[in-house]
Structure 1
Amino acid sequence: MLTKAINPKLGTLIRARAPLRLGLAGGGTDISPYCDVHSGAILNITISMFTSATLELTQDGKIVFEALDRDEITSYDMAPYLAPDGKLDLHKAVYNRIVADYLGGRPVSLRLRTSSDAVAGSGLGSSSTLVVTMAQAFVEAFALPLGEYDVAHMSYVIERKDLGLKGGKQDQYAATFGGFNFMEFYAEDRVIVNPLRVKDWIISELESSLVLYFTGVSRESANIIAEQVSNVENGNQASIDAMHALRQEAVAMKEYLLRGDIPALGRALQAGWEAKKRSANSISNPAIDAIDQAARKAGAFAGKMSGAGGGGFMFFLAPPECRQKVIKTLEQFGGTASACYFTAEGAKAWRV
């Protein structure tokens, strides 16, 4: 624990942002107990959608949290610990962890404003990315000697252990590192991030082929994750075999991606989606299946839900010449379809 953090100048604005991600393959294998017993593997990519934070140290003895995108604001008297009460608990949990571990229990008067380009339950890892963004702002404000692995692990601890929110580990590491990453997950929270050097033409072809579709329905991932966890704990062999298949598709897709074999990548994406649906009953539903089938009829050759499933964002791969037809088809279901672009940069913070 560090008890001597650098005091930033009062009135200085610290801004931070981190990118959201698409889970290409292996999603769910980063969740305990599966990854503890079998090890997990995930392939993901960060996209040009972000969560943002502005941190300002003040002198009024207040702690003010504001979620600009949700039009929520809450204020407390300065204290070393703020109990979760259902009001911006992610903000409070980041503050609590920083004060306890790096400021020697010394409370801080501050104002922390945040926003996100995607709603909670989007399937793009928005909640975890927001935690990473806020943590990165505090790291910059107090010049904390924390690298990417440190920030990602701390963010995981804040969300999964301090707050007890169910989920895996990939989102925190994707947001912190950024870019194309093949991630490995092992027992005792050990994570290895392997950044991939994907050729420019492959990235351009993927961006030209990708359609991102928001179903208009956010979902609570905790129930889906709880079902997956229960299936593993109870020895549901069909579900465990599906998780094994998810892991193998992540390994295969990494090779196809690096080689630029887009058709094979599409087949692996589709196989991974079919395996994911077998890991828990609530991952898909008739509405999602209908959207998937319509996109394929319009020319898409692969697609899946991003994240745990059940709602939020879907994404599809289609030949570039078919992409507009796929977009028009998807919009008939009442959601929002668009192109999608990647970002190579992870979490960052700067002073204003």
Structure 2
Amino acid sequence: MIITRTPFRVSFAGGGSDLASFYKRHEGCVLSTTINKYMYVVIHPTFNRSETVVKYSKTETVNDIRQIQHPIARQLLLDHKLDGVEIVSTADIPAGTGLSTSSAYTVGLIHALYAFRGKFCAQERIAKEACELEIEKLGEPIGKQDQYGTAVGGLKFIRFLPDDTVEVESLIIDPAVRKQLDDNLLLFYTGMTHSAGTILREQNTNISGAEDKFRNLVKMTELAYEMRDALTNGNLDAFGYILNENWLLKRQLASQISNDTIERYYHIAMESGALGGKLLGAGGGGFLLFYCPKEKQSRLRCALSDLVELAFSMENSGTKVIYVGEKDWD
């Protein structure tokens, strides 16, 4: 048996610039961090070796892996030429909430399959293979930030280059600044989930056809660099203000990124002490992230008392194997 644990990610600035429709014309970049909420993937031999079992929100049992309905699991088992196994996944948060559940599953399963076969695979290679699977083989209209954001741990600056390569730079900041940043970040669940594919398809079209949307994303990449510099210089108020400016630009990229409910909660938070915030993921629902100084957090929590707060902290590890059982089959 192999168990992998893959952290979810929180993206602060530059989201959307990881789409090929943008970075082929202008370098993209994202500032993000992994957090202590995880996707767990378990793989072990089935008792009846003629069967392959995949368990997620439902259970599939097949005699031919080509019959598996879950597209990620089916494609990866075909790629690895592996059957007669049971794959089980569970997560700390629900899908469709903007914390990269789908890519974390892909990353965690790739890692588990390599480990199950007794092979080592570096985190950045896992991220690259996850991008190839989701974008090229499965044709998802997504970018590359989630795969690298979950596979590689810690607070990092990720660059998406026109030649399709990706560079990941760990961000080194003063430990006291990091702790204060951690203390001042708050997550609230809106109660709404979203279809990332629908929103990203529109965003891709808009970036390719509307110059104002393209310029918005160029400005968002500039803000990502400014945010990186603010953190390395220990200027957390600037971090909060940039977070807000990034959101004001992002919500204009596609029609379904925001809605009246999200705008109402965002306005309440800003009136209650937050310096900035954003909706995580593609948009339309999921988690709202806010940067709020500690002395104003009680007021903000009271103002958003009808939302569920998710306690979290930043962490440094990426995808990892957390359990290896004895190999008892050939």
| 1:49-82 deviation line (CA, Å, top 9, x unaligned) | 1000111023521110111xx3x110111x4x52
- Give me the whole-angstrom Cα distance separating, in 1, the residues matched to 2:27 and 2:33: 20
Report the AA paired with residue 227 of structure 1.
E
Equivalent position of 2:66 in the other structure: 82
Q: CA deviation at 1:307?
A: 1.1
* Equivalent residues of 2:208, 2:214 under 8 A apart: no
Equivalent position of 1:351 in the other structure: 324
Equivalences for residues 100-249 of structure 1 within 5 A:
107-234=82-209, 236-249=210-223
Alignment equivalent of 1:56, drawn from 44, 50, 53? 44
- Give me the whole-angstrom Cα distance separating, in 1, the residues matched to 2:54 and 2:311: 33
Q: CA deviation at 1:84?
A: 5.8
Q: Which range is displaced more, 203-212 or 56-65? A: 56-65
SS of equivalent residue, structure 1 residue 37? coil
Does residue 91 of the first structure (1) align with residue 91 of the second (2)?
A: no
Report the AA paired with residue 24 of structure 1.
F
* Equivalent residues of 2:207, 2:214 under 8 A apart: yes
Equivalent position of 1:42 in the other structure: 30
Report the AA paired with residue 342 of structure 1.
M
Does residue 304 of the first structure (1) align with residue 278 of the second (2)?
A: yes
Q: CA deviation at 1:18?
A: 0.5
RMSD of Structure 2 on Structure 1 (CA): 1.4
Equivalent position of 1:336 in the other structure: 308
List gaps (5 residues or longer) in structure 2.
326-330
* Equivalent residues of 1:97, 1:158 under 8 A apart: no
Q: CA deviation at 1:309?
A: 1.2
Q: CA deviation at 1:199?
A: 2.2
- Give me the whole-angstrom Cα distance separating, in 2, the residues matched to 1:298 and 1:339: 19
- Give me the whole-angstrom Cα distance separating, in 1, the residues matched to 2:166 and 2:22: 14
Equivalent position of 1:103 in the other structure: none
* Equivalent residues of 2:62, 2:68 under 8 A apart: no
Equivalences for residues 221-300 of structure 1 within 5 A:
221-234=196-209, 236-300=210-274
Q: Which range is displaced more, 126-135 or 320-329? A: 320-329
* Equivalent residues of 2:111, 2:121 under 8 A apart: no
Report the AA paired with residue 52 of structure 2.
I
Equivalences for residues 1-40 of structure 1 within 5 A:
13-40=1-28
Aligned residues: 323
Q: CA deviation at 1:123?
A: 0.6
Q: CA deviation at 1:94?
A: 2.2
Alignment equivalent of 1:73, drawn from 41, 59, 71? 59
Q: CA deviation at 1:206?
A: 1.2
TM-score normalised to structure 2 length:
0.94
- Give me the whole-angstrom Cα distance separating, in 2, the residues matched to 1:281 and 1:65: 36
Q: Percent identity?
A: 26
Q: Which range is displaced more, 236-245 or 159-168? A: 159-168
Q: CA deviation at 1:145?
A: 4.1
Equivalences for residues 313-328 of structure 1 within 5 A:
313-328=287-302
TM-score normalised to structure 1 length:
0.88
- Give me the whole-angstrom Cα distance separating, in 2, the residues matched to 1:256 and 1:286: 31
List gaps (5 residues or longer) in structure 1.
1-12, 100-106
- Give me the whole-angstrom Cα distance separating, in 1, the residues matched to 2:79 and 2:195: 25
* Equivalent residues of 1:211, 1:327 under 8 A apart: no
| 1:153-209 deviation line (CA, Å, top 9, x unaligned) | 111111122222221101111111110110000234310011111222112101211
Equivalent position of 1:9 in the other structure: none
* Equivalent residues of 2:32, 2:156 under 8 A apart: yes
Change beyond 3 A, Cα 1:188–1:144:
farther
Q: CA deviation at 1:37?
A: 1.4
- Give me the whole-angstrom Cα distance separating, in 2, the residues matched to 1:15 and 1:73: 18
* Equivalent residues of 2:37, 2:312 under 8 A apart: no
